[in-house]
């Protein structure tokens, strides 16, 4: 009986030792593995930041291409009088601005879209995600719209891969860009038309100039009184953009003139 009691007490000691061993090993194991978890979390943050950096670069190039593709058709439409509905010319061969071209927004938008795609084709990227963007635009896998003032570009199909030693992330960012004429230093055709409607009744060239300058923030206005005959006179309005744009190889201001009727 006593011998069995002694054996029982030995077993309890052995169990105690093993329990301590198990508790220590388990806590060390948890300590070691939780350390790895922290590492994964930290590297994930790095990957997300890397993806965000790439998204910003992609947005930079899209913005660049949109800006160029908006300025050039805008300038051409003004120079070729395509913003005016059924353009007519007075006796001194000056264009008379009565109404805006009815399909102006559609025309501008189709011109913009073609140029935007051409612009992007000329970009020679080295990074995979930027080439994905280039392909996406070439294949029309983006949506855009134009309401006369704002050009909206949207896509959620751009694939951005970020890899580290241990992990890799595939990220599809929601890219949404809203670029307005005022943001690129111009006034919309509607704003020009509205200012013309407001100012056309002014009686002197000075008042006309002040009115246009007041209405159109992106342009410097000039107004000159022209006489056709003793009874007939008109005001020639010249608008010149305050901002210079890089057109081909030079900085140029956008300027155009019309007779407000």
Partner 1 sequence: MKRKKLFFQKKAQAGTTLSWFVAVFVILFILVLYFIFAGLLAAERYVPLIGKGGNKISIAKTNEDFKAQKKLFYLLNFPLEEGETIKELIILSELHQDKEAEKKFKENSEIILKSSEEGQKECDLLLINDELIYNNLFKGIIIEGKIPAMYKTDFGYAEIFLFSNQQQINARLYSGKC
Q: How far apart are CA 109 and CA 116, in angstroms?
A: 10
Where would I find the H helices in the chain?
Answer: 2-79, 104-121, 128-138, 189-199, 205-215
The CA distances from residue 223 to 42, 66, 180, 217, 240, in Å, are 64, 32, 27, 16, 12
Token pair recorded at residue 45? 């943050």
Residue placing its CB nearer to partner 1 in the complex, 15 or 224:
15
User: What residues numbered 228-257 form the site for partner 1, per CB under 8 A?
Assistant: 242-246, 249-251
CB-based contacts of 194, cutoff 8 Å, min separation 6: 215
Instruction: Specify whether the CB–CB gap between 175 and 58 falls below 8 A.
Output: yes
Residue placing its CB nearer to partner 1 in the complex, 44 or 149:
44
Q: Looking at 37, 39, 78, 108, which residue binds partner 1 (CB under 8 A)?
A: 39
Instruction: Specify whether the CB–CB gap between 243 and 253 falls below 8 A.
Output: yes
Q: Does 45 engage in binding with partner 1 (CB under 8 A)?
A: yes
Q: Looking at 37, 38, 174, 230, which residue binds partner 1 (CB under 8 A)?
A: 38
Q: Looking at 107, 125, 159, 182, which residue binds partner 1 (CB under 8 A)?
A: 125
Q: Does 2 engage in binding with partner 1 (CB under 8 A)?
A: yes
Residues in contact with partner 1, counted by CB under 8 A, come to a total of 45
Instruction: Specify whether the CB–CB gap between 119 and 68 falls below 8 A.
Output: yes
* Cβ 38 to partner 1 shortest distance, Å: 7
The 84-123 contact track toward partner 1, x by CB under 8 A, reads --------------------------------------xx
Q: Does 3 engage in binding with partner 1 (CB under 8 A)?
A: yes
Question: DSSP state, 98?
Answer: -
Task: Report the interface residues with partner 1, using CB under 8 A.
Answer: 2-3, 5-6, 9-10, 13-14, 16-17, 20-21, 24, 27-28, 31-32, 35, 38-39, 42-43, 45-46, 49-50, 52-53, 56-57, 60, 64, 122-125, 185, 242-246, 249-251
């Amino acid at each position: 009986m006593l011998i069995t009691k002694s054996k029982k007490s030995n077993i309890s000691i052995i169990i105690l030792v093993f329990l301590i061993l198990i508790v220590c090993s388990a806590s060390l194991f948890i300590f070691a593995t939780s350390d790895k978890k922290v590492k994964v979390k930290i590297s994930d943050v790095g990957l997300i930041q890397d993806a965000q950096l790439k998204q910003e670069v992609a947005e930079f190039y899209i913005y660049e291409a949109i800006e160029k593709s908006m300025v050039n058709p805008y300038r051409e439409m003004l120079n070729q009088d395509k913003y005016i509905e059924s353009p007519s010319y007075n006796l001194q061969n000056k264009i008379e601005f009565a109404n805006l071209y009815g399909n102006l927004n559609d025309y501008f938008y189709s011109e913009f879209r073609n140029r935007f795609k051409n612009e992007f084709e000329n970009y020679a990227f080295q990074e995979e995600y930027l080439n994905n963007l280039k392909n996406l635009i070439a294949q029309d896998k983006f949506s855009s719209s134009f309401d006369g003032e704002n050009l909206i570009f949207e896509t959620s199909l751009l694939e951005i891969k970020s890899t580290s030693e241990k992990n890799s992330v595939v990220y599809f960012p929601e890219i949404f860009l809203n670029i307005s004429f005022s943001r690129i230093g111009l006034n919309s055709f509607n704003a020009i038309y509205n200012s013309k409607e407001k100012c056309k009744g002014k009686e002197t060239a000075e008042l006309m100039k002040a009115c246009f300058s007041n209405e159109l923030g992106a342009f410097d206005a000039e107004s000159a009184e022209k006489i056709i005959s003793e009874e007939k006179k008109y005001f020639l309005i010249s608008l010149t953009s305050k901002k210079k744009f890089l057109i081909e190889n030079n900085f140029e201001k956008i300027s155009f003139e019309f007779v407000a009727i």
